[in-house]
Copies of this chain bind each other. A is one copy, B any other.
Amino acid sequence: MTRIAVDAMGGDYAPGEIVKGAVWAAHDYNVPIELVGKTDEIQKVLNEISRKGIRSNRGGYFIKKFKVDLSKLDIKITQADEVIEMGEAPGTAIRKKRKSSIVLAVDAVAKGSSDAVVAAGSTGAAMASSLFGLGRLPGIERPAIAVTLPTMDEPVILIDAGANSSCTSEMLFQFATMGSTFVKNVYNRKDPKIGILNIGEEEEKGNQLVKDVHKLLKENNIGLHFIGNVEGKELFQGNVDVVVCDGFVGNVALKTIEGSSMMLFKLIKQEFKSDIISMIVGLLAKPFMKRIYKRVNYEEFGGALLLGVKGITVISHGRSSSYAIRNAVRVAKEAVESGVNKKIAELIN
């Protein structure tokens, strides 16, 4: 059965929210868990869960509280003496801290005691340890981050969301292949539509990189369903399944989306606190706003996938709550069970 290794020490709210999220996933999806980190700190959280249960938050809103019988769940702890902090240079950090939680969580997959990693700490460290600990899939030039974004319809995959700040057209072509295979096998979408993130729809638009990728994707003979260029605003209309871009553009896009959505929700909160009437209307409107927040909240998607390595690494948001981690474990489990890596390797070669 698929076991998921979770870096218990990574993330702004580690180890508390991380351990709770992992236990929650074990409870909801019956998935075995390997918690990697400082045993005493992890045990403390587990004891708290035994006593109090899990208080379930979703998108900052309290949902429910439920009891968990840990003896019925398959949870093991792997000791890690060190932790890689957010500011550390990833390459140096993973070489120096061989006993850090993220390096050992990846090792668990490399050695076969787990099948996938979930990590909410330093993205750079998660990428570097996955790349060095698991290696690239045969034929893959560079791994890339595939992030799931909400749209008016089905979610869209943006790849690369930040693994490679400089890319060649061949790399972007491979990202398209990986993204398409992922959506097909994990999200069960037939014939996923692939677009290039560009500043106009016309073939001749954009910089040299996207023009070259356009040519490669147009001429592809491996059955990718290429629909041409898509603009930033089309990302959200639900008429494309996979959008490729270099990691610089993808990361900027991802963070501006996050920033502008956060601003809107903050403005709404402000507006509903301006006087007594607004507060009453705000209270009435709250359940509706909650539902909208749930639809666009990144926590629902649990995390981004690092595609192109020999193994599954799910990179979660630094601010992940237990709910986000629970979903990230589900995504990891689904990715393992779909055999997405084998299919990527087949398509590339």
Contact = CB atoms under 8 A, between A and B. Distances in A.
Contact of A256 (B152, B166, B253, B288): B253
Interface residues of A, number: 55
A197 interface: yes
A47 B150 CA distance: 47
A271 B292 contact: yes
Given A199-B162, A257-B257, A288 B263 contact: no
Interface string A184-212: 00000000000001110000011110100
Contact of A232 (B208, B253, B284): B253
Contacts of A262: 233, 236
A81 interface: no
B162 A264 contact: no
Contacts of A288: 268, 271-272, 278, 281-282
A281 B48 CA distance: 40
Contacts of A166: 207-208
A41 interface: no
Nearest to A89: B204
B281 A260 contact: no
Number of copies: 2
Contacts of A101: none
Interface stretch (A2-10, A31-39, A244-252): A244-252
Nearest to A267: B292
A291 interface: yes
Interface string A274-288: 000010011011001
A231 interface: yes
A214 to B, nearest CB: 13
Interface string A4-27: 000000000000000000000000
A295 interface: yes
A206 B260 contact: no
A254 B263 CA distance: 15
A168 to B, nearest CB: 13
A69 interface: no
B249 A248 contact: yes
A151 to B, nearest CB: 7
Interface of A: 150-152, 162, 165-166, 197-199, 205-208, 210, 231-237, 245, 247-249, 251-264, 266-268, 271-272, 278, 281-282, 284-285, 288-289, 291-292, 295-296
State the 8 A-B residue pairs at the shortest beta-carbon distance, nearest first: A232-B255, A233-B259, A232-B256, A199-B251, A236-B263, A236-B259, A271-B288, A165-B207
